[in-house]
Amino acid sequence: MNLAAVNRVLLHPAAKPLLWLLCLVPLAGWIWGGFHGSLGANPAETILRGTGSWTLRFLCIVLVVTPLRQWTGLNALARWRRLLGLYVFFYSVLHFLAYAWLDMGFDPAAVVKDLARRPFALVGFLAFVLLVPLAATSFNRAIKAMGAARWQRLHRLVYAIALLGLLHFFWMRASKHRYDEVLVYAVVIGGLLGVRLWRRLQAAPSPRAAPVARNAQPSRVTGS
């Protein structure tokens, strides 16, 4: 299948609804597991860890869309980026609700106390808060109202969110001395952010451009 054909498939009207359904598979799995008692010995922890892991996974997927589009020429992928970004927010909301309900019993005072006591929880909450304006402006009307340049600057917060999410996951795993999965996410996120930094440095004008001489001699080629 050639590039044009793949782009046509990605632009097919059925592609986006199919993506919606695929993104809901983790949630469907937890609902199914809840009804059939297959969430393990500690269902609350399964849901809490699962929603956090899928938030981080969707963050990685969002970050990979742009370089993948640039490398492959699959420009149709651009239409999926905002949808995938909304699923980052969706699973982060589920993660926060699981924490507030299953860990804190929906007690605001207990949540505030816990955030002040545990840095990894505070970092995760900060990442969640930063996601709110991104989700609220992930619509065409917001882009028109803000202007494309301002909208793009705001949505660069996703890079800080990815790093905060990684730090949150690292601190959470550090208590159990389990770093294998953290290392995988660190390599993926570090690589994706590194690619963006490299491209930005490549696009930046050279600061050592040769200055134009004030008293330059007339060119002999043109006879000027």
User: Which pTM was predicted?
Assistant: 0.89
Model pLDDT for residues 124-142, shown as the tens digit of each residue: 999 999 999 999 999 999 9
Residue 207 — pLDDT band, cuts 50, 70, 90?
A: low
Report which of 124, 92, 121, 96 is spatially closest to residue 26, judged by C-alpha positions: 92
pLDDT in tens, 17-53: 999 999 999 999 999 999 999 999 999 999 999 999 9
Helix axes 157-174, 119-136, angle to 10 degrees: 150
pLDDT at 2 > cutoff 90:
no
Q: What is the pLDDT of residues 138-173, one digit of tens each?
A: 999 999 999 999 999 999 999 999 999 999 999 999
User: 220 pLDDT band (50/70/90 cuts)?
Assistant: very low
